[in-house]
């Protein structure tokens, strides 16, 4: 009698980017006999609309059956939990993001808690809901960006299939999506988070010139919640702002207005070596 092999549990952290989607497709096509697989996407409420369409198309055409989660920010005595949404009900106006800022303050290079609270926490809360105590986590990092792998990957049961199993670089990803009937329709400088504070100045300036309205959200957050957050350091530094070198959205808009088209093109071309093109990876 053939002995039945018990499957392990595997979480795929689907960022909504092309690399992550490519990895997810490979895993679902090749590893279903090895793992109980769940695909999870965490929506912050400030994702690019094309990112949401891309995740939805992956579900529609590739049967990812993605679990869409959003952060539920609870009062100070309880940590972040989750709620399940879908393409139609997913936040587009930043509701989870605003709730997080109201409690924890504005995220920036000194307080990088947006990924923790809006992606990692709701995903972990959902895993806890599953009652999975033993599982692996698959992250979409390519062989040409292996410098980004977590130093605690082994301890945290994180795996990188595009490095260890299917060695893939950016060219492999692009070739794959060129052959599909849909793809992620955003430019490299745009990224999944439409105004992410981690972007280079040149990318912010280009986005401000193209669609200034997407910066209305961070501007409103700075105005409403600049003094929110934990710690006495706020008394010394004043209101928090999102962008590098303690700049506000107002500052970024002013600086963008001073940059010429020629200067901006040169800046953007040079900045493309800096990666913030698809999303923030959750388990780094």
Q: Mean of the pLDDT values across residues 242-251? A: 95
CA-nearest of 135, 164, 118, 96 to 282 is 118
What are the backbone angles phi and psi of residue 190, rounded to the nearest 5°?
A: -80, -50
74's tokens: 């609870």
Q: Mean of the pLDDT values across residues 16-39? A: 97
Residue 278 has a pLDDT of: 43
Please write the tens of the pLDDT for every residue from 160-190. 999 999 999 999 999 999 999 999 999 888 8
CA-nearest of 58, 78, 76, 77 to 68 is 58
Q: How far is CA 108 from the centre of its chain?
A: 15
Confidence of residue 277 (pLDDT cuts 50, 70, 90): very low
Please write the tens of the pLDDT for every residue from 134-162. 999 999 999 999 888 888 888 889 999 99
Give the architecture-level CATH label for domain 8-178.
3-Layer(aba) Sandwich (3.40)
Look over the chain and give the mean of its residue pLDDT values, rounded to a whole number.
90
What are the backbone angles phi and psi of residue 81, rounded to the nearest 5°?
A: -115, -155
Contacts of 99 (CB under 8 A, 6+ apart): 71, 73
CB 242 within 8 A of CB 248: yes
SS3 track for the chain: CCCCCCCEEEEEECCCCHHHHHHHHHHHHHCCCCEEEEEEEECCCCECHHHHHHHHHHHHHHCCCCEEEEEECCCCCCCCEEEEECCCCCCCCCHHHHHHHHHHCCCCCCCCCHHHHHHHHHHHHHHHHHCCCCCEEECCCCHHHHHHCCCCCCCCCEECHHHHCCCCCHHHHHHHHHCCCCCCCCCCCCCCECCCCCCCHHHHHHHHHHCHHHHHHHHHHHHHHCCCCCCCHHHHHCCCCCEHHHECHHHHHHHHHHCCHHHHHHHHHHHCCCCCCCCCCCCC
Residue 156 has a pLDDT of: 87
Residue ranges per structural domain of the chain: 8-178, 201-271
Interior/surface letters 219-236, b for 16+ CB within 10 angstroms, e for the rest: bebbeebbebbeeeeeee
Say what percent of the chain tops pLDDT 90: 76
Residue 120 has a pLDDT of: 95
What distance in Å separates the CA atoms of residue 182 and residue 185, rounded to the nearest whole number?
9
């Amino acid at each position: 009698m053939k002995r039945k092999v018990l499957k392990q549990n595997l979480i795929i952290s689907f960022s909504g980017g092309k690399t992550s989607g490519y990895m997810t497709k490979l895993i679902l096509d090749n590893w279903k006999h090895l793992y109980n697989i769940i695909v999870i996407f965490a929506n912050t409420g400030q994702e690019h609309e094309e990112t949401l369409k891309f995740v939805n198309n992956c579900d529609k055409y590739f049967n990812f059956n993605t679990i869409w989660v959003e952060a539920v920010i609870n009062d100070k005595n309880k940590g972040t939990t989750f709620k399940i949404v879908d393409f139609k009900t997913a936040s587009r106006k930043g509701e989870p993001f605003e709730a997080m800022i109201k409690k924890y303050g504005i995220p920036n290079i000194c307080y990088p808690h947006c990924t923790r609270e809006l992606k990692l926490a709701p995903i972990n809360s959902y895993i806890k809901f599953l009652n999975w105590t033993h599982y692996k986590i698959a992250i979409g990092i390519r062989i040409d960006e292996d410098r980004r792998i977590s130093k605690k990957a082994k301890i945290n049961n994180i795996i990188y299939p595009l490095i260890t199993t299917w060695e893939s670089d950016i060219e492999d990803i692009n070739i794959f999506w060129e052959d599909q009937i849909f793809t992620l329709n955003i430019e490299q400088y745009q990224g999944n988070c439409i105004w992410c504070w981690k972007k280079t100045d040149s990318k912010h300036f280009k986005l401000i010139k193209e669609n200034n309205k997407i910066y209305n959200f961070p501007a409103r957050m700075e105005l409403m919640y600049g003094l929110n957050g934990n710690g006495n350091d706020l008394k010394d530094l004043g209101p928090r702002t999102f962008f590098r070198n303690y700049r506000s959205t107002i500052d970024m808009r002013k600086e963008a207005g001073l940059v010429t088209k020629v200067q901006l093109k040169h800046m953007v071309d040079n900045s493309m070596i800096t990666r913030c093109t698809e999303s923030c990876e959750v388990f780094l």
